[in-house]
Amino acid sequence: MQSRLGNRTALAVIAALTVVGCSTGVSTPHATTTPTQAGSPILTTPGTSVPSASAAVAPPSGRVVQWGDSTGIVNNPDYKTGVIDVFNATNPTMTLEDTIRTNMDAALRTALAAGSVTPDVVNMAGPTEGVELALAGQLLPLDKYVAQYGWDKILTPWSLALGTVNGHVYCIPNNMETLVVYYNKTQFDKNGWALPKTYADLIAVADQVKAAGSIAFMQGNAEYKLADQWFQGEWLNHVAGPENVAKALKGTIPWTDPTIAAAVTELKNVVNGGHFTGGLSKYYTTTFSAIAAAVASGKAAMSVDGTWDLAVFQDAFKKTGQELGWFAMPDSTGNPVLDISIGGCDGINKNSTNPDATAAWENWLLTDAGQVALAKAQNNPSPLATVNAGAMALYDPMRADILTALVQKTATPGQYGYTDWTFFSPKMETYWENHIEQVWAGALSVPDYLAATQAAYEQDKAANALMQLP
């Protein structure tokens, strides 16, 4: 179990140590700070020894246009006042224009295909889309800005690698999140269910919950069909293990490998065995609010979900007065693996008339000021090599606990898992997502599914579209 108190304490201790280090003169200039070689994140407080984005170059000027989806964070009023307005106020030579678009992705793709000079910022759903647009020649290579601002030092190596295509950096990952198991702590305590230490324990607990007449995992995709991929990723990384997933992503083992097949088969068995929402047909018609309500009321014990839905669970638990807990799903060896989700990736339009100012905006987001502003607006942090503890402290405590645990995990390969929307190449991701329900329904066999996944992987490989892993 990831102890909330433990993580908070660790956060405070590390932050305090950093402050002490600072007070003893261990100060590092922003532009030249080098994080640990392994990309290990260090938690620091703002304004101390933060290896942050450089402000050494002359500030660019002019107008930068960014589009945001009407359903996304950019449409959050806090984002407008807490991030955009702060940037404009503190960077008087530049003006960031933030425009809300309905169906932004389609509007963005249309604009790019038409050769439009706007938006300057190409705001994408994740690195996979970044690769797709980079290969289509729609993005400006950012190598110049990587060198200018030291992004290769500021960002974790794995995250910058995700934005790299054919040796050139095209997008800057942001919005780092993960998936955990939310659970009803009150019910666990009352029924004597122990928190699982291994994947086998998890299934054993699920069996106990089912035997007690409750639903083990309350899940659903009625509002968002691609929620399937959350569980695909969780079971893939925790049953096959992150090492095998990394090997498959690098092509060392095929996607038809028995370890991968075992993971897909295990998920199929779990969803068909009644552990998911009491039956697969209910899974397809259950909404997120119903999921949270069921777990909060004790009708269900657990739910595998992302940090993006934490507030929904918290609201539901407030209504019932029961206690919400979370833990990282353990893998078969007992390692509590957290899957990395990069929910956004920013590039620069190749036709942008003001790429320097656009890059400056992107750089500002990576600075202390940017990270604090994002945290105040409750937007997720960027995958920085050195995480700003001051910014982290501004998050909701449980979110901060989870993100802190994630940051610690991302330092070491094998400790973190790979979500498909972050690490899978475009064609493979599309196939993987669009056909899993056929596997669950028995209309497509696991071997056939994985053979087609491998074929899609080969196509991506031939097109140089594989995601880069460190």
Binding part of the chain for another protein, among 76-84, 308-316, 409-417, 436-444 by CB under 8 A, reads 436-444
Tokens of 272: 């068909």
203/222 with CB nearer another protein: 222
253/466 with CB nearer another protein: 466
Are residues 196 and 204 in contact, defined by beta-carbon separation less than 8 angstroms?
A: yes
Instruction: Count CB atoms within 10 A of the CB of residue 252.
Output: 11
Q: How far is the CB of 462 from another protein (least distance, A)?
A: 12
Best CA proximity match to 4, nearest among 220, 384, 314: 314
What span, in angstroms and rounded, lies between the C-alpha atoms of 243 and 253? 11
First to last CA, the chain: 28
Q: Where are the beta strands (DSSP E) in 307-365?
A: 324-327, 338-348
Are residues 1 and 195 in contact, defined by beta-carbon separation less than 8 angstroms?
A: yes
H or E segment and range at residue 42: strand 42-44
Which residues are paired to 460 by β-bridges?
Answer: none
Binding part of the chain for another protein, among 25-33, 107-115, 190-198, 367-375 by CB under 8 A, reads 107-115
Total binding residues for another protein by CB under 8 A?
Answer: 30
222 is a site residue for another protein (CB under 8 A)? yes
Contact map string, positions 362 to 381, toward another protein, x by CB under 8 A = --------------------
**Binder of another protein out of 16, 56, 106, 200 (CB under 8 A):** 106
210/376 with CB nearer another protein: 210
Range 31-90, binding another protein (CB under 8 A): none
- Residue 311 has phi, psi (to 5 degrees) of -60, -35
117 is a site residue for another protein (CB under 8 A)? no
Contact map string, positions 130 to 159, toward another protein, x by CB under 8 A = --xx-xxxx---------------------
Identity at 398, one-letter amino acid code: M
**Binder of another protein out of 1, 203, 204, 280 (CB under 8 A):** 280
77/442 with CB nearer another protein: 442
109/210 with CB nearer another protein: 109
Binding part of the chain for another protein, among 43-51, 140-148, 274-282, 367-375 by CB under 8 A, reads 274-282
Contact map string, positions 407 to 426, toward another protein, x by CB under 8 A = -------------------x
Chain centroid, CA 242 distance in Å: 16
What span, in angstroms and rounded, lies between the C-alpha atoms of 87 and 278? 48
Residue 284: C-alpha distances to residues 218, 268, 281, 301, 389 (Å): 11, 14, 5, 19, 39
Contact residues toward another protein (CB under 8 A) are: 106, 109, 112-113, 132-133, 135-138, 222, 225, 279-286, 290, 426-427, 430, 434, 437-438, 440-441, 443
